[in-house]
Structure 1
Amino acid sequence: VQQFPQMTVSSLQCNRHKPWRFGTRFMSLIKEAHWEGLTGRITFNKTNGLRTDFDLDVISLKEEGLEKIGTWDPASGLNMTESQKGKPTNITDSLSNRSLIVTTILEEPYVLFKKSDKPLYGNDRFEGYCIDLLRELSTILGFTYEIRLVEDGKYGAQDDANGQWNGMVRELIDHKADLAVAPLAITYVREKVTDFSKPFMTLGISILYRKPNGTNPGVFSFLNPLSPDIWMYILLAYLGVSCVLFVIARFS
Structure 2
Amino acid sequence: MVIKVLEKVFAILEFVASRQGRPVLPAEIVQALDINQTTCIRLLKDLVENGYLSQISRTRGYVTGPTAVWIGKNSLFQSQLHSICEPILRDAAPRENISMLVAVRHGKYRVLICGCNAPTGVQLNMSLPRFPDLFCSATGIMLLAHTPAEELTRLIPETVIPETPPWHAGITRAEIDLKLYTVRTSGEFRHQAFGVEACAAPIFSAGKLQAALGGAWRAALPAAQRDELAGKLRAVAATISASLGDGLRHI
Q: Same fold (TM over 0.5)?
A: no
Name the TM-score, length of structure 2 as normaliser.
0.19
TM-score by length of 1: 0.19
Structure 1 or 2: larger helix share?
Answer: 2
Larger Rg: 1
